[in-house]
Structure 1
Amino acid sequence: MRIKTHIVFFISFVSVFLNGLHAANSDSDSLILGCGSENEAKDADGRKWQPDSKYLTGSKGSPAQAQYQDPALLSEVPYMKARIFTSNATYKFPVKPKQRYIIRLYFYPAVYGSNNAEQSYFAVIANGITVLQNFSASITCKALTQAYIMREYFLAPLNKDSLEVTFSPSAGFAFVNGIELIGTPDMFGSATIVGASDQTFDGKSTNLQTMFRVNIGGQFISPTNDSGALSRTWYDDFAYVFGAQLGVTNEAAKDVKIDYKDMPGYIAPVDIYKTSRSMGEKKDINLSYNLTWVFNQVDPKFMYLVRLHFCDFYLSKTNQIVFTVYINNQTAEAEADVIGWTGGKGVPTYRDYVVALKDGSDGNLWLALHPATKSRPEFYDALINGVEIFKLEQGKTLAGPNPNPSEMLAKDQERERSFENQQQQGGSGTNKAHVIGGAAGGAAAFGIVAALCIAVYQRKKKALGTETHTSSWLPLYGNSHTSGTKSTISGKSTASSHLTTAAQGRCRRFSFIEMKQATKSFDESNVIGVGGFGKVYKGVIDAGTKVAIKRSNPQSEQGVHEFQTEIEMLSELRHKHLVSLIGFCDEDNEMCLVYDFMSRGTLREHLYKGNKSQAQLSWKKRLEICIGAAKGLHYLHTGARWTIIHRDVKTTNILLDENWEAKVSDFGLSKTGPNMDNGHVSTVVKGSFGYLDPEYFRRQQLTEKSDVYSFGVVLFEALCARPALNPSLPKEQVSLADWALHCQRKGTLEDIIDPHLKGKVNMESIKKFADTAEKCLSDAGTDRPTLNDILWNLEFALQLQDDPDGSNHSSRRARSDSDDAHLRNQNMMAIHYSNLSLGSESDLNEESNNNNNTNSNETTGDSSAIFSQIVNPKGR
């Protein structure tokens, strides 16, 4: 009887404990508010946002609708609606006493009716703490190169049953798009103070602001995949890795179980501890460098709590890996032994450190790992799984100044404004250009189109009175941007002097001597392509690593800007289906770009350049290549932090690795940025004939749908195995886009598909593929599908080919909302570094003026050029 009583008591105790824990994280202890919304609405992840009005006391402000949805917004909720305040206004939220809360504030700086966020400055006070002061969401987004921002704060445990959050306009008006309030266990305790190891910091009663939350070596983790009900967002770490030595990424085997033991599961999701970044297996290399991350835009006036997450899922003994942890060049942990801390394989842990930034830190917080040799571990290596950085309250405030845009960004914005003013002053000349462009868009013959394009460009050039290089609206990360200046003495640039420190730090810098050694003094036998930038050479570095080296042509008019853009772009972006930049050389008036070598060259050469492997390129293989390229473009359009428009999509810029994986290359013409107030940007027309969006050509207005048009041409090229332009054909067949559309609408497309495919493919798959390509070539950009839609259709075409009986088609058609959300999350991930490559090893036996190349923008051998330009090089 006594035993039964004890059992009942134990079960009751556990039940009460679990219920209490659940209550601390239940939906009833959370609020997710869409500010300015009158009804409940779901975001892209399926989370429900409630109206906010009932929580306002006194002035309720006014609801407003954003006039334009930036392409970088993956969801209308909560960003497209806002609550506008022209005077002080306070939210009053019910809370539990002695409970710590997370509060998140969402801001999308747009135009709301007559209220332009550029004129908005305000303060926010929560729990008596000033979290924002004289805050401008517009300035902050521009400086951080983001379309929208979220600010997250951990509020100290409250001694009352309500939380007041006050918005106070300091100029113009205040606004907010969304508010989240989530009850959370107190996750902060004692932390070691870096530089004073005998002292500790107690974080239990401290207010904090989340600055960075990073999944090291892993991928983006969405709020819906976070642990508990905390809905945190974890970003990949590639944007912060410093230097050419990236280490290696690791992933736990499927049979490895992550065992939290005594550590609460809400500290971090299990996915954090299933991936890591380490230094690698080579002792000598590991001892020669630090595995380093740099976190910028950090206010030096505050102290920061740095939380490091560790889990070793390979090793199981102490003293196998021991390493030193440095934070801002100070030793935070002299000998970190993860197994020694956790006691076993697959057991996670974390360590907290508090650091004060030193004067002259330039707003950067550095984290570095290096093997510790004193204890003579079995392996000279280091590892880490995750990083969180929090700003600590100081004097009842967490507010810092609005970030300053970089000098390069400011110059670039001024250049864009100057260009727009000159465009407007062009008057009738601009109108004439539109008329001529419209006529050219309807012409089928390539010669007429080319002549008109060049004429338009020359007229525009004269109207501007200078050679205009329009660059990106906004940089990729932090303070990055480029300027396209040239030296008047040499015709070359000191290009790298205009690159950001971050971009240079993330790329390896080669000497020109190394470039000569790698290519045997640029021996002509190593040439694998020629483009507007210059020749592309096959080379070997580091005693065996094959690379493709693109060397600038002294006579080229395009070099500097494209050189800078390529480095800035590819040093920041990493995706399975994008090329990877290894490094660059900018020395002795020479500019070189170094890429990983791609053994199978370009898609074009496998379609119709007489390559012996053409017969191997089955319909299924072509579909898989097109799907891979679409994934790369989709990531550029929606998965990065803002829209990136490639502007030169074509088969020579789709490269293939040894496994036939497609990689999108050549970012010299790319445009980036979230601030397209009218859904487009007005810019000089650049691209490649045959692929050029006629709407873009007519209006000089660039959108992401311009890439969709070009990709539609690529799809027909893959289907028909012929060049985008071939003037040797009859007039009506010169343009592949025009001829394929004509045959598609006449029902005769089967007559022009690649003869190698006939009788070997499922025609339902061909039909779905052709329908998709046709939609991509719609005259109006608004009628063209998104890359997301294109991807689904191509995957459906692949399934039709694999499953001709149609047994699985119904499930394919009935794609669920959860699949959509998963795809969005996949596209948001910055996939960790992989071996992306460039170049081809094929022989150079074919004449460079083959039909496919006569009207292209490059001259190549059997491996096509990687860099492109309009026929007249000045057009780029």
Structure 2
Amino acid sequence: MRNIIQLLGIITICFLTYNLIDVKSQNQTNYVPIDQIFLNCGGPNSTESDGRKWISDTTFSPSTTATAATAATQKPDVSQVPYMTARVSRSNFTYTIPASPGRVFLRLHFYSAAYGNLTAADALFSATSSAYTLLKNFSAAQTMEALQLTHMVKEFSINIPAGEESLTVTFAPASDHTNSYAFVNGIELVSHPDTFATASALAVGQSSGFQIDNATALENVRRLNVGENAIKPSDDNGLFRSWGNDDDYLFGAAHGVVRRLDPNVTVAAPVNYAAPLGLYTTLRSMGPNSSVNRNSNLTWYFKIDSGFSYLVRLHFCEISGDIYKTNQIVFTIFLNKQTAAAVADVIAWAGGNGVPIHRDFVVFVATGPSQQNLWLDLHPYTASSPQFYDAILNGLEIFKINDSRGNLGGPNPTLTLPESDAPSSNKPPSKNHSAAIGGGVGAGASALLVVVIVILVARRRRNAAAGEEDGWLTLSKYGNSPSLFSGTTTTTATSIGSSLPSGLCRHFSFAEIKAATNNFDEALLLGLGGFGKVYRGEVEITDGTTTKVAIKRGNPLSQQGVHEFQTEIEMLSKLRHRHLVSLIGFCQEKHEMILVYDYMSNGTLREHLYNAPNPATPALSWKQRLGICIGAARGLHYLHTGVKQTIIHRDVKTTNILLDEKWVAKVSDFGLSKTGPSMEDTHVSTLVKGSFGYLDPEYYRRQQLTEKSDVYSFGVVLFEVLCGRPPLMRKLPKEQVSLAEWARRCYEEGSLGGIRDPCLVGKIAAESFEKFAETAAKCVDEVGAERPSMGDVLWNLEFALQLQESAEEGLVVVADDFDLSRSVASLDSSGATPSAVFSQIMNADGR
């Protein structure tokens, strides 16, 4: 069968007529929508700089129960309109928006925050429009935390039938959740050309097509400008679509190269405003090395909800003057291991260079885990012996298609990183599809081969371990069974408690937990994490007195927690160290999973670096920051060297560094922790878990976990402490999005001082700054072997503190300007030794 497909491809190419067209210069004018309405929910009329005129929603929502509210806090990159006001209600409310028949983009804007006496965590609701369920048990707080967003837009394409003159949108709080409410910050309705129903899409793996008709509703899942920076809504030719960058979705070491428009080629206006003209002026190709390309793929992967069909739209336009005839670049397109297009020749499809086109494919993603990966692979088609062994892509869109019940609502995403080595049904294509994932030619192909071998080994080990690394399960999956864990384990709360060292971990009853939290009073809420809500409480200790505690209650909707719950108890019940948060006890009763910790009155480190709850709170001094970093480093150093077998934390970040009333730092949250490799091994092969922005790139590529993965994450923490900004800020220019990459580049260029926290200007000794910066930069080295150990990091931080104290005593000058281009070797030759600077590394016992 494969030979027949290849032969047909060769015949097709041979009979295509050579056609070099003269692309005339065409300017794409803005599309003028029939209907264009922007509702500022709960707020006044306002005109924004991008041309959108937001109007008050007062006349569109007749329900008197839905009230206007203002967000309690405003994050730095969140605009006033439409995100600082909202329409909120504890009961259903409906918008009726006038609109003409035809397809419209419906965009719902959300900003998770407290609104009056309503907490962000209680916003749990559904949204429907006509016969379609758009959102189902949607938690904006959990979704934004998982995706590391400060605000978000949910976009849908819905057809308004002939004869109707409006579109209704109803928001309904979850009926089975106490104190739930619904809210929305902004609503857009923009008519758009129907580019979906013009032709049927190819159903991947089937011989027939898939028709997107007027009864089909779509949700935009991804929209990417491949190989280039994001395209803002204001630059989208009147349709206000957002096009992101594809860097975060590339798989493996072979990222290809970015090609830009040849000055001798003019790009024609896309038909029917399928995409903005700028999308087609850049593309990503595999690169010039044909021998490497023949043995590798250009691969992207995307996290999507299971059990739905997806429309994948690929945008192409050849923009090189040298590529103008057929059979110059020919490639095969794979979607989820299946051949979507055996022979893709952009010149043949479009008729010449400079002509934008798109191709639509529909992929069905079977039920299974709540979310899984959708893979896209491009591989050179060799059967026709093209002039160049290459593949290209300019842009990409992924749309979820409503199911048979009209539902588009999926689960809320979890806070753990998606598994990179997914089950075999969720893998990139293998050589069975004429696409070699790895190869024996060239460094890039060799590296990719290593990745694949690691994935296969990891999968084999996972299967042998009978689910040891499965994703988190919801509590509802256990029904009325008293068993805490599913699968091969039958551990109950009682057996967990009996397996713990005597006296180190207490088993609380659910009644005790309810009393400690005043029946989970929202006034005692400290925060919301991936596992669930965290409350402040008081519990009685043995002598009859009470002590303050932090109580973390598992949330069944998070679809995670059972494995984390077990790991947290097993790890922390065996560890005692001044710089590790103490686990006091747990509760597993009435299908609840609850953990009880020491109360840390000063919260997380992140709260004191940026987005502080109280702007009047004084910024941490440089010495305070050094002391906190030293404390956290001591805790991590103890995990790596002070216990019988190395423990790798695997989720080091500023929200997992807690501060007590004396500002002593304690490392927390051991739900993802793993025991380190044995003496004969150098690493642990395991699924990739952690937090975006902090994740060791070597671990991510190879699925090989070492203690140097913690070192990388801690290096990101150090840069956060120095620069006072989050690890990822996606709205910044591309080179500044990742703090680790940007700060390390600034360090190498000698300009790191220019991006430090403004609160620290003029307050850091130059020598202390240089030692700290050098340490952070070494921690985030791409190669794990080049990173220092946590003991070395601790030594350097102690040294930086000593240098700062010397400066404050008048022995060294505190400088405003730093020149990091000079060598800092002199700092290492000052005669200081580990024993002279600190003693903790010599004795890793807790103090």
Number of residue pairs matched by the alignment = 576
1:531-564 alpha-carbon deviations (Å, 9 max, x no partner): xxxxxxxxxxxxxxxxxxxx99xxxxx7452245
Does the 8 Å contact 2:688/2:700 carry over to 1? no
**Aligned twin of 1:59:** 64
Q: Using the alignment, how far apart are the partners of 1:576 and 1:242 within structure 2?
A: 19
* Residue of 203, 216, 234 corresponding to 2:226: 216
**Aligned twin of 2:459:** none
Secondary structure, aligned partner of 1:239: helix
Secondary structure, aligned partner of 2:258: strand
1:53-97 alpha-carbon deviations (Å, 9 max, x no partner): 1111233511111112234x3313222211111222111111112
Does the 8 Å contact 2:648/2:673 carry over to 1? no
**Aligned twin of 1:86:** 90
**Aligned twin of 1:76:** 80
Does the 8 Å contact 2:65/2:91 carry over to 1? no
Does the 8 Å contact 1:58/1:89 carry over to 2? yes
Q: Using the alignment, how far apart are the partners of 1:690 and 1:44 within structure 2?
A: 49
Q: Which amino acid aligns with 2:189?
A: L
Q: Which amino acid aligns with 1:127?
A: S
Q: Using the alignment, how far apart are the partners of 1:292 and 1:449 within structure 2?
A: 41
Q: Using the alignment, how far apart are the partners of 1:185 and 1:324 within structure 2?
A: 30
Using the TM superposition, give the Cα deviation of residue 506 of structure 1 relative to its aligned residue in structure 2, in angstroms.
Answer: 8.0
Does the 8 Å contact 1:486/1:560 carry over to 2? no
* Residue of 315, 318, 328 corresponding to 1:309: 315
Distance 1:102 1:442, change over 3 A: closer
**Aligned twin of 1:500:** 689
**Aligned twin of 2:510:** none
Establish whether residue 338 from structure 1 lines up as the match of residue 346 from structure 2: yes
Q: Using the alignment, how far apart are the partners of 2:714 and 2:625 within structure 1?
A: 28
Q: Which amino acid aligns with 1:226?
A: D
* Residue of 558, 562, 581 corresponding to 2:711: 562
Distance 1:442 1:564, change over 3 A: closer
Aligned 1:652-663 pairs, distance under 5 A: none
**Aligned twin of 1:168:** 172
Establish whether residue 243 from structure 1 lines up as the match of residue 252 from structure 2: yes
Distance 1:397 1:257, change over 3 A: same
Q: Using the alignment, how far apart are the partners of 2:124 and 2:319 within structure 1?
A: 48
Does the 8 Å contact 2:158/2:217 carry over to 1? yes
Does the 8 Å contact 1:726/1:854 carry over to 2? no
Q: Using the alignment, how far apart are the partners of 1:494 and 1:237 within structure 2?
A: 30
Distance 1:667 1:231, change over 3 A: farther
Distance 1:373 1:425, change over 3 A: closer
Establish whether residue 385 from structure 1 lines up as the match of residue 394 from structure 2: yes
Distance 1:278 1:301, change over 3 A: same
Does the 8 Å contact 1:688/1:870 carry over to 2? no
Q: Using the alignment, how far apart are the partners of 2:618 and 2:835 within structure 1?
A: 22
Establish whether residue 128 from structure 1 lines up as the match of residue 136 from structure 2: no
Q: Please, which runs of 5 or more residues in structure 2 have no aligned partner?
A: 1-28, 417-470, 473-529, 532-560, 573-579, 584-594, 606-616, 657-668, 718-725, 759-766, 782-793
**Aligned twin of 2:610:** none
Does the 8 Å contact 1:725/1:735 carry over to 2? no
Secondary structure, aligned partner of 1:221: coil
Q: Which amino acid aligns with 1:30?
A: Q
Q: Using the alignment, how far apart are the partners of 1:191 and 1:135 within structure 2?
A: 30
* Residue of 808, 811, 814 corresponding to 1:736: 814
Q: Which amino acid aligns with 2:810?
A: E
Using the TM superposition, give the Cα deviation of residue 724 of structure 1 relative to its aligned residue in structure 2, in angstroms.
Answer: 7.2
**Aligned twin of 1:256:** 265
**Aligned twin of 2:297:** 290
Using the TM superposition, give the Cα deviation of residue 231 of structure 1 relative to its aligned residue in structure 2, in angstroms.
Answer: 0.4
Q: Using the alignment, how far apart are the partners of 1:184 and 1:440 within structure 2?
A: 48
Q: Which amino acid aligns with 1:273?
A: Y
Establish whether residue 471 from structure 1 lines up as the match of residue 652 from structure 2: yes
Distance 1:76 1:572, change over 3 A: closer
Q: Using the alignment, how far apart are the partners of 1:82 and 1:234 within structure 2?
A: 25
Does the 8 Å contact 2:127/2:169 carry over to 1? yes
More helix by share: 1
Does the 8 Å contact 1:690/1:736 carry over to 2? no
Does the 8 Å contact 1:34/1:78 carry over to 2? yes
Using the TM superposition, give the Cα deviation of residue 499 of structure 1 relative to its aligned residue in structure 2, in angstroms.
Answer: 3.0
Distance 1:474 1:47, change over 3 A: farther
Higher relative contact order (CA 8 A, sep 6+): 1
Does the 8 Å contact 2:86/2:186 carry over to 1? yes
Q: Which amino acid aligns with 2:183?
A: F
Does the 8 Å contact 1:78/1:178 carry over to 2? yes
Establish whether residue 376 from structure 1 lines up as the match of residue 385 from structure 2: yes
Using the TM superposition, give the Cα deviation of residue 370 of structure 1 relative to its aligned residue in structure 2, in angstroms.
Answer: 0.3
Secondary structure, aligned partner of 1:113: coil
Using the TM superposition, give the Cα deviation of residue 182 of structure 1 relative to its aligned residue in structure 2, in angstroms.
Answer: 0.5
Establish whether residue 281 from structure 1 lines up as the match of residue 284 from structure 2: no
**Aligned twin of 1:32:** 38
Q: Using the alignment, how far apart are the partners of 1:387 and 1:667 within structure 2?
A: 35
Does the 8 Å contact 1:57/1:90 carry over to 2? yes
Does the 8 Å contact 1:252/1:313 carry over to 2? yes
Using the TM superposition, give the Cα deviation of residue 485 of structure 1 relative to its aligned residue in structure 2, in angstroms.
Answer: 4.6
Using the TM superposition, give the Cα deviation of residue 402 of structure 1 relative to its aligned residue in structure 2, in angstroms.
Answer: 2.6
Distance 1:565 1:48, change over 3 A: farther
Establish whether residue 197 from structure 1 lines up as the match of residue 207 from structure 2: yes
Q: Using the alignment, how far apart are the partners of 1:92 and 1:450 within structure 2?
A: 56
Aligned 1:515-554 pairs, distance under 5 A: none
Q: Using the alignment, how far apart are the partners of 2:324 and 2:72 within structure 1?
A: 57
Does the 8 Å contact 1:724/1:735 carry over to 2? no
Distance 1:509 1:61, change over 3 A: closer
Does the 8 Å contact 1:105/1:176 carry over to 2? yes
Q: Using the alignment, how far apart are the partners of 1:596 and 1:281 within structure 2?
A: 31
How does the TM-score come out when normalised to structure 2? 0.57
Secondary structure, aligned partner of 2:173: strand
Q: Which amino acid aligns with 2:710?
A: H
**Aligned twin of 1:148:** 151
Using the TM superposition, give the Cα deviation of residue 325 of structure 1 relative to its aligned residue in structure 2, in angstroms.
Answer: 0.4
Establish whether residue 231 from structure 1 lines up as the match of residue 406 from structure 2: no
Distance 1:79 1:396, change over 3 A: same
Q: Using the alignment, how far apart are the partners of 1:110 and 1:148 within structure 2?
A: 10
Alpha-carbon RMSD:
5.5
Secondary structure, aligned partner of 2:279: helix
Using the TM superposition, give the Cα deviation of residue 357 of structure 1 relative to its aligned residue in structure 2, in angstroms.
Answer: 1.4
Secondary structure, aligned partner of 2:284: strand
Instruction: Give % identity.
Output: 31
Using the TM superposition, give the Cα deviation of residue 134 of structure 1 relative to its aligned residue in structure 2, in angstroms.
Answer: 2.2
Distance 1:603 1:152, change over 3 A: closer
**Aligned twin of 2:451:** none
Distance 1:468 1:81, change over 3 A: farther
Q: Using the alignment, how far apart are the partners of 2:795 and 2:70 within structure 1?
A: 35
Does the 8 Å contact 1:686/1:870 carry over to 2? no
Using the TM superposition, give the Cα deviation of residue 255 of structure 1 relative to its aligned residue in structure 2, in angstroms.
Answer: 4.7
Q: Using the alignment, how far apart are the partners of 2:212 and 2:627 within structure 1?
A: 72
**Aligned twin of 1:348:** 356
**Aligned twin of 1:620:** none
Q: Using the alignment, how far apart are the partners of 1:405 and 1:103 within structure 2?
A: 27
Does the 8 Å contact 1:486/1:493 carry over to 2? no
Q: Using the alignment, how far apart are the partners of 2:779 and 2:51 within structure 1?
A: 34
Q: Using the alignment, how far apart are the partners of 1:474 and 1:455 within structure 2?
A: 15
